[in-house]
Structure 1
Amino acid sequence: MSKPGYVYIMASRRNGTLYLGVTSDLVKRAWQHRNGLGSEFSAEYRCHFLVWYEAYDDLQEARLRKLRMKKWKRDWKLRLIETANPGWRDLFEDVAQ
């Protein structure tokens, strides 16, 4: 049986620094980022706000999506966030419930 996965974007602020990641536990990973434990990059650039995510039934699918998105231009990622979350709300509370 496969493990579910998530592709997510953390941001420092609206139109700020973005961090693209993949995880099998979105709540735990977003909490780590919010508390400076997610990665050196996200800690240094204060990418503490979960602004976008996609859920997958299979972690491998999520990893493949992340690899494709890593090649995207920044504008494409910004457009993705703006479409799903125009107010750049921190979605952590939504997923943590």
Structure 2
Amino acid sequence: MYYVYMLANWSNKVIYTGMTNNLERRIYEHKHKLVKGFTEKYNINKLVYFESTTDVTAAILREKQIKGWTRSKKNELIKMMNPQWKDLSRDFYYEDSSLHSE
């Protein structure tokens, strides 16, 4: 499976869009600031949206599509899945060692 996801900081002022083949591991990396750069700098670690596909090309294209959208269009997509902008990763189990492998 491949995932396209959006993260926000806790004030919901900044959004990041990414793609991964292991959503739980990738969110763990963001939350523990193991990903250097934009998400670390702006403390972006709240999973507010994700979708999945078995097609890596489709995931890459969807990530690029969403990244090209306006902020208001991204907000609408998030609200359709997660109207209250809750952290959808709150139930992930990080102690599972399988999260650290590809």
User: What's the TM-score, normalizing by structure 1?
Assistant: 0.88
Residue aligning to 1:18:
15
Is residue 77 from structure 1 mapped to residue 42 from structure 2 by the alignment?
Answer: no
Residue aligning to 2:34:
37
- Unaligned segments of structure 1, at least 5 residues: none
- Unaligned segments of structure 2, at least 5 residues: 94-102
Q: Looking at secondary structure, tell me which structure has more helix per residue.
A: 1
| Structure 1 residue 31: Cα displacement | 0.6
Cα-to-partner distance string for 1:9-57 (whole Å, 9 max, x where unaligned): 0100253110100000000001111111224100000001001000111
More divergent stretch after superposition (36-45 vs 18-27): 36-45
Which whole-Å CA distance do the structure 2 matches of 1:38 and 1:82 have between them? 26
Q: Which one-letter code corresponds to 1:75 in the other structure?
A: S
Residue aligning to 1:88:
85
Is residue 8 from structure 1 mapped to residue 2 from structure 2 by the alignment?
Answer: no
Is residue 52 from structure 1 mapped to residue 38 from structure 2 by the alignment?
Answer: no
The count of aligned residue pairs is: 93
CA contact (8 A) 1:8 1:53 kept: yes
Moved over 3 A (4+): none
Identity across aligned pairs (percent)? 35
Q: Which one-letter code corresponds to 1:86 in the other structure?
A: P
Residue aligning to 2:62:
65
Which whole-Å CA distance do the structure 2 matches of 1:45 and 1:66 have between them? 20
